[in-house]
Amino acid sequence: MIKETSSNASNRQFLHSVCRINGALETIAGRWKALILIHISEQQNRFSLLKQMMPTVSDQVLGKQLRDLEMDGLISKTIIPEVPVRVDYSLTPKGEALLPILEALAHWYNPRGVSEQQ
């Protein structure tokens, strides 16, 4: 969390006001967010399923990333009153619209300049 009176907060506010890309990048920043969105789009839509797909992420981090994605309007959470209670996640229209952008970023990113084989 950034202290509201810090220079970091001022810089963040300035960058968001002059370039919406900074806000967009901040929304998807986070080691696991893109992968979480992709897995949810592929119906790996419960905490336990996501955990199976990403076994090295801690429960705490996965929970925080899911809360962040929900707060940013990229996913929604449905609580199913079963025993035990089940929670399903799904992409919102905003989250669905992000998938082609993530795919384009994946195609763009080439860390070593290696030609892609298709």
Higher pLDDT, 5 or 65: 65
Cα separation, 77 vs 70, whole angstroms: 7
pLDDT (tens digit per residue) in 86-115? 999 999 999 999 999 999 998 998 777 666
Q: What is the pLDDT of residues 59-76, one digit of tens each?
A: 999 999 999 999 999 999
Q: What span, in angstroms and rounded, lies between the C-alpha atoms of 68 and 71?
A: 5
Better-scored residue on pLDDT, 93 or 84: 93
Query: What is the model's pTM?
Result: 0.80
Q: Which domains does the chain have, with CATH numbers?
A: 31-108 (1.10.10.10)
Q: Which residues contact 38 (CB under 8 A, 6 or more apart)?
A: 99, 102
Strands (E), the chain: 75-80, 86-91
